[in-house]
Structure 1
Amino acid sequence: MVQSKSSQTLALGSLAVALFVLALKIAAWQLTGAVALYSDAMESFVNVAGALLAWIAIRIADRPADKSHPFGHHKAENLSAIAEGSLIVLAAVLILQEAGGAIFSPDLERLGPLGLAVNAVAMVINLVWARVLITAGTRRRSPALSANGRHLMTDVWTSAGVLVGLVLVLLTGWALLDPLIALLVAVNILYEGWKVIFSSAGDLMDSAAHDSDHQVIENAVRSSCHGALQVHDLRTRRAGKVLFIEFHLVVATEMTVGAAHEICDAIEAEIAVHLPEARTTIHVEPDDMLETSGLAPELGNGR
């Protein structure tokens, strides 16, 4: 519960940071009239919507399982990430529209260092908060926080590119660079939106655990299933920050139910040490169900 409250606090923090950064970027755009800064502000507008969606999704995902949702509400975070990815794509379309018109009539008479400085401050704030979210999202295995953090990092690189480009405009006087920079920003945002949507859609389709997690599961099973004969048909699926694991555990036919249950408890405890958000289901079978391939207990391991 402490961790879930912390995730909700981070999501609320993201909303506050996104609103403040958006205000700064709108101010920078108004000061300069630069289409490239308009594109940067539009991406921050998406950040605000994404932060709000992430906060709502985390609150829903933290609800306990109920009769209608016996496996929990964890995929709310994936839905949130897909919604944010869709908003990113929409922002890119709006930027393309604005930049397309500006190509034929570039106007940067108001461009100056003050507007660029305001945008630079917003970029630094985003950089710091993005690292906080990515670190927290990875530790908590939260798609909503991770998606928000990755998008903020894209925003940081966008801002950096925009600032460099507009400095070149000031030095060279080539106003056409402004809408061209905005077009490049839009293409980058489209790519980021696609990545966010694709990644979260995979989890909605019950994608398997990442290779690194799968190896952790196998190692945990091997080191804790002493007394069993084999583990086979290991399957995993992701749902939000939760990883569902199931497999068949083969034991000697004469083993008591109590003894088999102790092995199951030991396996579940070992997996939980490495993957606290895992939900493990084990199907116990007699030794005539041995498969030609599967996981065997580590030699020399004892309980």
Structure 2
Amino acid sequence: MNEKSKVALSSVIAATFLTMMKLTVGIFSGSLGILSEAAHSALDLGAAVITFFAVKISDKPADKEHNYGHGKVESFSALIETLLLLVTCIWIIHEATERLFYGKANMIANTYWGMAIILISIIVDISRSRILKKAAIKYGSQALAADALHFSSDVLSSVVVLIGLLSVTIGNIFNIPFLHYGDPFAALGVSLLVMVISYKLGKQTIDVLLDTAPKGVLNDVLHEANQVKGVLDVAHVRVRASGPRIFIDMEIGINRNESHRVVHSIVNEVRERLEQKIANSDLMISTFPVDVSGDDRQEIYHTVKKIVDKFPICTNIHNIHVYEVAHEKFIAIHLEVKQSMTLKESHNLAHEIGDLIKAELDNVEEVSVNFEYVKREFIAAQDVTEQNQNIVLKIKELVNKVPDRLNCHDIKIYSQSDKLTIFLHCEMDDEYSTEKIESISKAISEKIKANIRNIDSIHMHVEPL
């Protein structure tokens, strides 16, 4: 067992000890505050168990039945845990209101034992949070960092319960009746805190199960990719999370006249930047050719992209068209935006972008900017590769008929309703230009669609031989 797993397992042991200790003392003393703390520790126990298994299976590769790994098991377990904890909190709140408003018994036995247990809990929580935080920083583990946050949040709730028990003890010693209500008030406070934490955890879990794109990742992908020299366009970006991993599919536009060696170098640079920016990312990057006429045109593309990147509302550039009339340039741009705008807002933004472009480039007479609001949606699909080995063999046969030295491999078939989507990798001569690669890819796609029914789309990743 490696150090990460040992640290995660020690958290499970600590959380189990605290939960059982608080539950036992809470039942025998009748303290709702301690019982609510036991529920809070149960949340941490569940989180610690999930963290332990997440760390344990994080290196387990995907298999034929689970193409994206096994991370969703963690999310499903967390959802069940959250629902059970919410039910427990509702029961504690009900009991607390019974004691506060309906004259139920408020007497608590063994408050000194209760305070001793809470003090032990605070010491253990502080110790565990420090050890987990140190390990999280050392290994860059988000799971261990979240576990450290759980234990550190326990310290605050334990202090609240301790204050409640102190008030009950003082009330007993000096016969001050209203101080007996300190325990149910503390129980209410801790229950509400746990419900807030449970709500946040539940929302995050449901987001992962529904393949919601992690917040900010899409913008990071677009920003980082557009910083790479040679990337002229970024399109069809799709992001989803599964356990600790983030899966990213994207296409980048590259000058059609670049050699395949240069294209591969650009793709690798994009991959390296994204892997450094987005931890635990799993990338699928495809390329498409962009028609660029001369160095002046290349400069225009890069300048426009640099300017558009300054506006967070703009997420992607569809097309840039440059027309030259009597040595004056007319530029038309189609932009994707992440939210709808009024005519006034879009008009002002178009003028602002146009003025910046005119200031950066020479001889630009007019800039026309059109906006399009595009919702990024995921495509629900099933991997049917194993059931369609006949199609895999047919694709290889068709590729071999193309009059070029190719090596086709890693063919995947996905089903959407009654349509099929094909993903395949092809190796070609590394001196082929983007234009020649496009021609070969087009020929392969046409052959496949002409000979195999129900093909909706074909995505080809080209690699050097």
TM-score w.r.t. the length of structure 2 is: 0.54
Unaligned runs of 5+ in 2: 292-316, 320-333, 337-465
Q: Pick from 220, 244, 252 the counterpart of residue 224 of structure 2.
A: 220
Q: Which amino acid aligns with 1:230?
A: D
In structure 2, the residue matched to 1:162 is: 161
Greater RCO (Cα-Cα under 8 Å, separation 6 or more): 1
- What one-letter code is carried by the residue in structure 1 that aligns with 2:142? R
* Displacement after TM superposition at 1:165 (Å): 2.0
The alpha carbon displacement at 1:265 in A equals: 1.2
Shift of 1:23: 4.1
Q: Is the 8 A contact 1:231 1:247 kept in 2?
A: yes
| Aligned partner of 2:90 among 80, 90, 93 | 93
Are 2:242 and 1:239 equivalent residues in the alignment?
yes
CA drift at 1:18: 0.7
Alignment CA distance shift 1:116-1:290 (3 Å): closer
Alignment check: 8 A CA contact 1:244 1:278 kept: yes
Tell me if structure 1 keeps the 8 A contact 2:78–2:205: yes
Q: State the Cα distance separating 1:164 from its structure 2 match.
A: 1.3
Cα gap change, 1:89/1:153 in structure 2, threshold over 3 Å: closer, same or farther? farther
C-alpha displacement at 1:64, in angstroms?
0.6
The whole-number CA distance in structure 2 between the counterparts of 1:178 and 1:81 is 29
Distance 2:43 2:284 in 1: 39
- Are residue 281 (structure 1) and residue 284 (structure 2) matched? yes
Query: Aligned letter for 1:25?
Result: K
Q: Which amino acid aligns with 2:244?
A: K
In 2 relative to 1, CA 191–161 (structure 1 residues): closer, same or farther, beyond 3 Å?
same
> Residues of 2 paired with 1:58 and 1:83: CA distance?
20
Aligned equivalent of 1:251 = 254
1:200 counterpart residue number: 205
Q: Determine the C-alpha separation between the residues in 1 that align with 2:45 and 2:231.
A: 52
Distance 1:94 1:134, change over 3 A: farther
Taking the aligned partners of 1:209 and 1:46, their CA distance within structure 2 comes to 24
Give the Cα separation in 2 of the matches to 1:57 and 1:21: 22
What secondary structure sits across from 1:229 in the alignment?
strand
Separation (CA, whole Å) in 1 of partners of 2:130 and 2:73: 23
Percentage of identical aligned residues: 24
How many Å apart are 1:84 and its aligned residue?
A: 2.9
Looking at structure 1, the residues matched to 78 and 130 of structure 2 have their Cα atoms a distance apart, in angstroms, of 18
Q: Is the 1:18–1:48 contact (alpha carbons within 8 Å) kept by the matching residues of 2?
A: yes
Compared with structure 1, are the counterparts of its residues 153 and 216 closer, same or farther at alpha carbon in structure 2 (3 Å cutoff)? same
1:199 aligned partner, one-letter code: Q
SS in 2 for 1:191: helix
The alpha-carbon deviation at position 161 of structure 1 amounts to 0.7
Q: Which residue of 2 aligns with 1:299?
A: none
Q: What amino acid does structure 2 have at the position aligned with 1:257?
A: H
The answer on 1:140 being equivalent to 2:144 is no
Deviation string, structure 1 residues 201-248 (Cα, Å, up to 9, x no partner) = 11222222332x55544443234x323322234332222221222222
Cα distance, 1:156 vs structure 2: 2.5
1:179 and 2:184 aligned: yes
CA apart distance, 1:127: 3.2
Deviation at 1:137, TM superposition (A): 5.9
Q: Which amino acid aligns with 2:115?
A: L
1:14 positional shift: 1.4
Conserved? CA contact 2:225–2:231, under 8 Å? no
Q: Deviations over 1:64-106 (max 9, x none)?
A: 1111111222223322332332232133134235435544111
Q: Which has the larger radius of gyration?
A: 2
Q: Distance in 1 between matches of 2:134 and 2:84?
A: 23
Of 76, 88, 93, the match for 2:73: 76
Contact kept? 1:58, 1:76, Cα under 8 Å: no
> What stretches of structure 1 of length at least 5 have no aligned partner?
295-303
The one-letter code sitting in structure 2 at the alignment partner of 1:175 is H
Q: Whole-Å Cα distance in 2 between the matches of residues 58 and 159 of structure 1?
A: 28
Deviation at 1:250, TM superposition (A): 1.0
**TM-score normalised by structure 1 residue count:** 0.80
Distance 2:35 2:262 in 1: 66
Q: Which has the higher helix share?
A: 1
Match status 1:191 vs 2:192:
no
Instruction: Provide the rounded CA distance (Å) in 2 between the counterparts of 1:136 and 1:84.
Output: 25
Distance in structure 1 (CA, Å) of the matches to 2:126 and 2:84: 21
Q: Partners in 1 of 2:232 and 2:184 — Cα distance?
A: 66
Matching residue of 2:119 = 120
C-alpha distance in 1 between matches for 2:69 and 2:29 = 49
Whole-Å separation in 2 of the counterparts to 1:67 and 1:240 = 18
Contact 1:253 1:286 in 2 (8 A): yes
Distance 1:131 1:203, change over 3 A: farther
Q: Relative to 1, partners in 2 of residues 1:38 and 1:107: Cα closer, same or farther, differing over 3 Å?
A: same
Aligned pair partner of 2:265 in 251, 262, 267: 262
Q: What is the rounded CA distance, in whole Å, between the counterparts of 1:18 and 1:109 in structure 2?
A: 25
- State the shift of 1:267 in Å: 1.2
The answer to whether the 8 A contact 2:214-2:241 is kept is: yes
The verdict on how the C-alpha distance between 1:228 and 1:186 changes in structure 2, with shifts beyond 3 A counting, is: closer
Structure 2 partner of 1:298: none
Shift of 1:293: 3.9
Q: Is the 8 A contact 1:31 1:115 kept in 2?
A: no
Question: Which portions of structure 1, spanning 4 or more consecutive aligned residues, are displaced by more than 6 angstroms?
Answer: none
**Greater per-residue strand proportion:** 2
d(CA) in 2 for partners of 1:87, 1:149: 22
